[in-house]
Structure 1
Amino acid sequence: MSVRRVRYLVFLKDILILSVTSFGGPQAFLAMLLERMVKSRAYISEEELWELNALCNMLPGPSSTQLVSAIGFRVGGPNLAYLALLVWILPATLIMTSAALLIDFLQENTPGALNFARFIQPMAIGFIIFAAQKTISKMVKSTEAMILMLISAFVAFFYSSPYIFPIMLVLGGLSTSIKYKSQPKSEEDKTFSVKWANFYLWGGVLILAAVAGAITKWQPLLLFENFYRNGSLIFGGGQVLVPYLYTEFVDFKHFLSSEEFLTGYAISQGVPGPTFAISSYIGALSMREFGTFGFFMGGLVAAAGIFLPGIFLIFFVIRFWDQLKLYRPVRAALEGVNAVSCGMLIAAAYLLFEPLEANGINILFILATYVLLQFSKISSPIIILGGVVLGILANYFLA
């Protein structure tokens, strides 16, 4: 076996280890990448890691997954990158699909089965509030961005159609791109060249899935298009994905109940790997009428739909990013896109709280979850496990 092949296998093993041990959100994940990919293995330099991380955060899609694939691309080209993608997403995808199967089984066979989740549902809102606070502190830096964030939150409150989100993102980017003169000047590359293959692939799959789904009305195709479209529009990570999915699959299409959605979101906070894996849970429940096969098909179709567009886009942009980032309008537009994403996070916290009963217990668990995340070092899985245990005890003693 060649040295190169051994190196690739070791790289994939490292990705697998990360996929089953990366608890604690993006910050913990980046620390693990720095330790394993840079310091231990020297696949890339630390400077390259931070540059790739910044690039992935500027693109729509799952940033942690894009980062893993971008590193794979630098190490061994597109084939290794796609293998790394598969190894990275498969454990979380299978866990969340199995969770959907279990939740549905309990609801069908045990009345009141979701009582064990009575506390983790409000806790899920605490996670979203914490994520919103962290995201806003990083992304909203000006008065204009703050106003744009509030406007987008207001619109998302009252217009719950999933089609309003991409319009707001485009308008947000355009509204701040006109301020490009405030960006520091840099020497723009006059020999700018673009290889369009992956962009055409991204757009072609989007159009083909939409047309084929509209013609055939086949549920897996429709699901793939739904998740592919969402994966093409999400800026800001997994927490920003929540309002999109809640609006489309709970409010708009009624594939899940609010209770099921909140339970799945809370479970996803205790699962290692990519946070976008909640899509597999939603996809699985969206195809529950087709039995066990439908659950796993729905979970895998949703995973393919949500992860592929971000990968096509990172492969497209990574080849000319060093040239593109020199253009001031591009950098200026990101301020508006990020502000709109933050507004959607604020709306998500409200939309998810609305179906819950507004009682003292729910409010207490929302606040307690936020306080634990903000001021303690207790990990997310332990917090979720504590909520499950309390729910089981309450169900046993208070039933």
Structure 2
Amino acid sequence: MPAEPVPPRRIREIFVTFLALGLTSFGGPAAHLGYFHHQFVVRRRWLSEQDYADLVALCQFLPGPASSQVGFAIGMMRGGGWGAAAAWAAFTLPSAFVLVAFALSASLLDGPVSQGIIHGLKVAAVAIVAHAVSGMARNLCPDRQRAGIALVAVLLVILAGGALSQVSAMVIGAVAGLLFCRKHNGTDPGHSRLSVSDRAGRWAAFFFTVLLLGLPLLAWLAPSNLTEMMDAFYRTGALVFGGGHVILPLLEAEVVQTGWITPDQFLTGYGAAQAIPGPLFTFSAYLGAVLEPTAPWLWAAMALVMIFLPGLLLLVAVLPRWNNFRRWESAQALMRGANAAVVGILGAALYQPVWTSAILGPQDFALALTGFLLLSVWKLSAWAVVIVMAGGGLLIGA
């Protein structure tokens, strides 16, 4: 973290930038990584292509919501602890508020107009992810070896499916990089600004372990609906790899199979979470509000914190060793292979679920191609493309 005080205007800049992303980032984790790449690497240049790829690879290895971890780390790099908190809050809270309001009211997504806009936003995700994949492929897969690693990752994730295939692709890519990607141009990877102090890392590891072991004990010693919910949501966030949709079966096992809520309530909230921007982990806020209608905002806040906290603590815990690790020659080869695998994983996500859920006919393809050209040729901002795609989706629906 920065040793000198961070100017308040920088914290405001971080908050406003991530708030815009939290209000417009449709399409799930893969699309979020595309938005982040466009905003922070291409447009604002807050970090380099290499730093961004290394960070994405690290967060793919860790349990928790990968896109939120990446955003949290970018905020930390830019503004220290307050910057990390501002980035997480601004990116997460908009969708959380919408989902809690949805839990407390009738459906907000009925009618052909809203459905057309939502479909256009899904098409926007296709353009954003395709633009990110093409840019990262040029920089991170410049030779046959790394292009081959990316191709293997695409095939593995598409054919096998599931979070385990993504983790496997990362491991295989890292091993392949160690074996086939040792040649490099001799450049120093430099000192990444994505680091924290040893003390902060030790405290994060301590709190992660204490909560993981202590919450079940607390729920056993002082049983209550609140302590049981906190334990269930923290444990889910600590043990899920792949993030996004992977968390749904785990949450379903915790809240539906235990009889806390009905299957209809669960699926209704999931449908709403699919239709709004921001991380899918904010589905936990909806569940918290449904679990305790007498105190919906308190329970939503607790559920939201519990589901995100373990992944963020783990990220802070490993970052102190990150710079030393990435300077080893073997580690650099490993990361070259892992970064190529990241490109493959994003390429697979471009097909499923981004493409398959959005491109339903020739009009959708034409709209997605328009969005891609607006980004890559006309250099339009991502938020402007989102607005254009929403209008296009409305016209297609009409």
Deviation (angstroms), 1:30? 5.7
Q: Which position in structure 2 is the counterpart of 1:123?
A: 124
2:371 and 2:238 map into 1 onto residues whose CA distance is 32
Structure 2 matches for 1:281-320, cutoff 5 A? 281-285=282-286, 287=288, 289-290=290-291, 292-293=296-297, 294-314=299-319, 316-317=320-321
CA deviation profile, 1:34-69 (whole Å, cap 9, x unmatched): 79xxxxxxxxxxxx9999778756643644532442
Q: Which one of the candidate residues 13, 16, 29 is aligned to 2:40?
A: 29
Flag the 1:163–1:223 CA change in 2: closer, same or farther, 3 A: farther
SS of the aligned residue for 1:354 comes to: helix
Residues 180 and 332 in structure 1, CA contact (< 8 A), matched pair in contact too: yes
Q: Which position in structure 1 is the counterpart of 2:11?
A: 15
Q: For structure 2, list consecutive stretches of 5 or more residues without a partner in the other structure.
A: 21-34, 60-65, 189-196, 221-226, 253-262
Structure 2 matches for 1:186-265, cutoff 5 A? 198=201, 201-202=204-205, 205=208, 209=212, 218-228=228-238, 244-249=243-248, 260=272, 263-264=275-276
Q: How high is the TM-score relative to the length of structure 2?
A: 0.67
1:115 and 1:172 map into 2 onto residues whose CA distance is 39
CA deviation profile, 1:153-202 (whole Å, cap 9, x unmatched): 11111222223322331232122213475357799xxxxxx969826844
Deviation (angstroms), 1:300? 3.6
1:159 and 1:350 map into 2 onto residues whose CA distance is 14
Letter in 2 for 1:174: V
CA deviation profile, 1:57-107 (whole Å, cap 9, x unmatched): 6643644532442455xxxxxxxx333321232222222212434566563
Would you say how many aligned residue pairs link Structure 1 and Structure 2? 339
CA deviation profile, 1:119-165 (whole Å, cap 9, x unmatched): 21122122111111112222112212211211111111122222332
Flag the 1:63–1:17 CA change in 2: closer, same or farther, 3 A: same
Q: Which position in structure 1 is the counterpart of 2:159?
A: 158
- % identical aligned pairs: 11
2:359 and 2:251 map into 1 onto residues whose CA distance is 21
Q: Which position in structure 2 is the counterpart of 1:38?
A: none
SS of the aligned residue for 1:178 comes to: helix
Q: Which one of the candidate residues 361, 364, 367 is aligned to 2:363?
A: 361
Flag the 1:130–1:283 CA change in 2: closer, same or farther, 3 A: farther
Letter in 2 for 1:114: Q
Q: Is 1:385 matched with 2:387?
A: yes
Residues 184 and 328 in structure 1, CA contact (< 8 A), matched pair in contact too: no
SS of the aligned residue for 2:380 comes to: coil
CA deviation profile, 1:328-358 (whole Å, cap 9, x unmatched): 1011000111121111111111112324563
1:99 and 1:18 map into 2 onto residues whose CA distance is 22
Deviation (angstroms), 1:364? 1.9
1:301 and 1:387 map into 2 onto residues whose CA distance is 34
1:51 and 1:336 map into 2 onto residues whose CA distance is 13
2:246 and 2:200 map into 1 onto residues whose CA distance is 33
CA deviation profile, 1:264-316 (whole Å, cap 9, x unmatched): 3xx34xxxxxxxxx2453443455633543544444444434433323322x2
Which stretch has the larger CA shift, 150-159 or 111-120?
Answer: 111-120
2:36 and 2:98 map into 1 onto residues whose CA distance is 20
Residues 256 and 286 in structure 1, CA contact (< 8 A), matched pair in contact too: no
Deviation (angstroms), 1:16? 2.1
Residues 121 and 262 in structure 1, CA contact (< 8 A), matched pair in contact too: no
Q: How high is the TM-score relative to the length of structure 1?
A: 0.67
Structure 2 matches for 1:32-111, cutoff 5 A? 56=55, 59-60=58-59, 62-70=69-77, 72=79, 81-101=80-100, 105=105, 107=107, 110=110
Deviation (angstroms), 1:206? 6.5
